[in-house]
Copies of this chain bind each other. A is one copy, B any other.
Amino acid sequence: MAELSYREAVARGIAQEMRRDPTLVMLGEDIAGAGGVFKTTVGLLEEFGPTRIRDTPISEQAILGAAMGAAMTGVPVIAEIMFSDFLAVCFDMVANEMAKTRYMTGGQFTVPVVIRTANGGGVRFGAQHSQSVENWCMMIPGLKVVAPSTPEDVVGLMAAAVRDPDPVVFFEHKSLMATKSEVPDTEIVGKLGEARIIRAGTDCTIAALAFMVPRALEAAQRLAAEGVSAEVIDLRSLVPLDTQAILTSVAKTGWMFTVEENPRLCGWGAEVASIVAEEAFWDLDGPVTRITTPHIPLPAAENLEDLAIPSVDRIYETIKKSLG
């Protein structure tokens, strides 16, 4: 066991997989010589060399195209898109090419690509560098989507993503980079599509992702003080989605809440809510409630950004009010 930051866990996870698979390569902007803008790739150039850890021009389409073409021809690739907002400049590669080529060709291609990208707000970067865009990828058939909330999950899910033969978008949360926790020194391999119950409870179910997980947990702890027993689920993976964990929990609690950092419309919570409203309707004791960032671009000013993103207070109060 050693204490590891979320940031360090990214490099640790990549290194673990690069040692295991000598054909695995990584490319992206400023990832090699500089160790990444978020310092998530520090030390990798030194250990694996410039052939496997490669700096690129500012050409996101070329980056993902290179990743896809290499993966289709036998070389698994990790590609970094520095900020998830930039998925918009290469969205054709993500949504129309990587995601569809296997299906369109009757299964002739396998595309083992992991797209790593820094996601989410809380760092005062403003509307173009702070978005939570998991739903941009969740909505595209053919993409798997992961968003870890702890250093250990960063390592485990990185391994799972790299070992998965399909394109996986791996969201690293900017506001979690500095968070630390104990991580086993042994090889860690997680599993895609497995949520984790991080707090058992009987009165309501709270599903959260990434940066919203610690907030949901804290809100649950405060609710406990009021005698409300909340079950908190860290979804970890949106595709595949662990609907069993969600439905089992709701069957027990009867109340469903989602805590989403994304702006409201068509967020992942909408999908979860629609699944619950369709498949667990008779288990529900009350409305399915979504706690989200309002449907606005994110403002830069500290106090405004804090106001926009679901806070522990907002989670706590919303749930308290619903449960009366």
Binding site for B on A (CB under 8 A): 85-86, 88-89, 91-92, 94-96, 99-100, 103-104, 126-128, 135-136, 138-142, 239, 262-271, 273-274, 276-279, 281-282, 284, 286-290, 295-297, 299-300
Q: Which residues of B contact A135 (CB under 8 A)?
A: 139, 266
Residues from chain B with Cβ under 8 Å of A279 in the complex: 287
B297, A286: Cβ atoms closer than 8 Å: no
A to B CB contacts below 8 Å, 17 in the list: A88-B92, A88-B94, A88-B95, A89-B92, A99-B297, A103-B296, A104-B126, A139-B263, A141-B295, A141-B297, A264-B271, A265-B271, A266-B270, A273-B274, A274-B274, A279-B287, A281-B287
Contact status of A127 and B139, CB under 8 A, knowing A271-B265, A273-B278? no
CB neighbours (8 Å) of A277 from chain B are 273-274, 276-277, 287-288
Nearest-neighbor residue (CB-CB) of A85 within chain B: B96
Q: State A303–B140 Cα separation when bound (angstroms).
A: 22
Report chain B residues within 8 Å CB of A286: 281
**Shortest distance in angstroms between A152's beta carbon and chain B's nearest beta carbon?**
27
A96 vs chain B, min Cβ distance (A): 5
